[in-house]
Amino acid sequence: MSPACRILYVEDPIAGLGGAQRSLIELASAIRERRFDPVVASRPQQEFEQALADAGVRHVALRPGPGGVWRVLSRVRPQIVHCNVATERLTLYGALAARARRIPFVWHVRIAASTGWRDRLLARLSSHVVCISAAVASKFLYVEPSRLSVIYNACDVSRFRPLRRDPELRRRLGWSERAAVVGVVNRIDPGKGIGIFLRAFARVRERHPRAHALVVGGGDEAHLKALKAVARRERIAGSVVFVGHSEDVPRWMSTMDVVVHSPVIPEPFGRVIVEAMACGRPVVAADLGAPSEIITDGWDGYLAPGRDPAGLARWIVRLLDDAELRERMGRRARRTALRRFSLDRLAREVGVLYRRLLRDNGSAVQLR
C-alpha cells in the first residue's frame, strides 16, 4: 500500500477555539478517510490542542518568527502546506518556506474584508487560494480561476441533527412546553448583531406576547452588559435568557422554534446557519454576505434585509404563526445540510484539489 500524503495545516489560534479552528479540525479529521495524513502546527494554545487531541489529529508546536515554519517543515516533511491563517505574517512565512522547498501552498481564506496589497501578495505566493464562499472569493478577482476555488465549510450532520425537544430544559427555564422560543447562537461581539436581534424580538413580542428568546454564546463581557441594557430598554429583559458559552449547541437549538442569524457586517460564511439547518430548524438570516449562498429564500429559510429589526421580525412572526410551515421548512433545511454541507463533501472537494496540486507538482506520492 502506498504511503498517505502528509498535509501540514498551519494555524494561529489567537482567540482559542473559534469557528475557523473548528472548521480546520473537522477538515483534518475528515481528510484522513481519503488517505491523507494531517498534521497541525500552531503556537501553544491549550483549548485548541485539546480539541485536536480529542479528534485524534497530531499537533506540533510552532515557534514564532520566520524560522518557526521552516523548522516544522524540516521535521514534518509534508507534501502540501495548507494555511488556515488570515492575512498575517505567519501566512507569509508559510508561503515563502513552502515555495523555497517547492511544496504546494494552499491559502484557506475565511475573511471577507480585503487587506489590499497584502491579499494580493499572499495570493500571488500561493499555489491555490480556497475561499469559504463566493462572497469571500469576490475580493480575489485578480486571481486566475485555475488557482481559486470556493469550497464551503461543512457541518458534522451526525452531531447536529434533529432532536426531540428537551422538556427538562424548558422546565429549568420556567417556560411552558408550548411557549414560542426564538434564539441566536453566536459569539457575544458587536459585529454579530445580537442587539438587532433583541430589537427584532421586541417587535415579535407585540404579536406573540408569551414568546421567549435565547442567546447562546460567550465573549465580550462589556458588550454583554450593553446587550442586557438593550433588553431592558426594549422591555423584554424578563423574556430573554443569556445562556453563555455551551458545547451542547444541538440541545439548545432543539428547544428553539426559529434560529436567527443577524450580523451587521457581511458574513463570510455563516457556520451557525448550517448547524441550525442540520438540526432541522428554520433560519431567518440577515442578507449580508454569504447567507444567500446557503439559504434558498422562502424554501429552506428566510433572508431579511441587513441591520433591519423590523425585517427580521416580519419573517420570525411568519414562522411562529404557522407550525406546519416551520416543520416543512425545517425538513427542507435538513436535506440541504445533508446534500451541500456534509464533512464527506468537504473532504471530497479538498481531496480533489490536493490530488491536482500533487500531480501538477510532479509528486511521487500515489493516492487512490
Residues 244-253 have pLDDT tens digits of 999 999 999 9
Fold match flag (5-154+342-360 vs 167-340): yes
pTM of the model: 0.95
Residues 141-158 have pLDDT tens digits of 999 999 999 999 999 999
Hey, what's the cell of 67? 524560522
* Contact (CB, 8 A) for 131 and 222: no
Beta bridge partners of 7: 38, 80
In the structure, what pLDDT confidence band is assigned to residue 265 with cuts at 50, 70 and 90?
Answer: very high
Query: Could you confirm whether domain 167-340 is CATH 3.40.50.2000?
Result: yes
Query: How many percent of the chain have pLDDT more than 90?
Result: 93
Q: What pLDDT does 364 receive?
A: 52
In angstroms, the CA 151 to CA 347 distance is: 10
Q: What pLDDT does 14 receive?
A: 86
From residue 272, how far is each of 49, 160, 322 by CA, in Å? 23, 10, 23
Asked if the model's pLDDT at residue 340 lies above 90, the reply is: yes
In angstroms, the CA 214 to CA 256 distance is: 8
Question: Of 3-17, 64-78, 119-133, 155-169, which gets the smallest average pLDDT?
Answer: 3-17
In angstroms, the CA 13 to CA 20 distance is: 9
Query: Could you confirm whether domain 5-154+342-360 is CATH 3.40.50.2000?
Result: yes
In the structure, what pLDDT confidence band is assigned to residue 137 with cuts at 50, 70 and 90?
Answer: very high
Domain boundaries, the chain: 5-154+342-360, 167-340
The phi-psi region of residue 289 (left if phi > 0; otherwise alpha if psi is between -120 and 50; otherwise beta) is left
Mean pLDDT across the stretch 255-273?
97
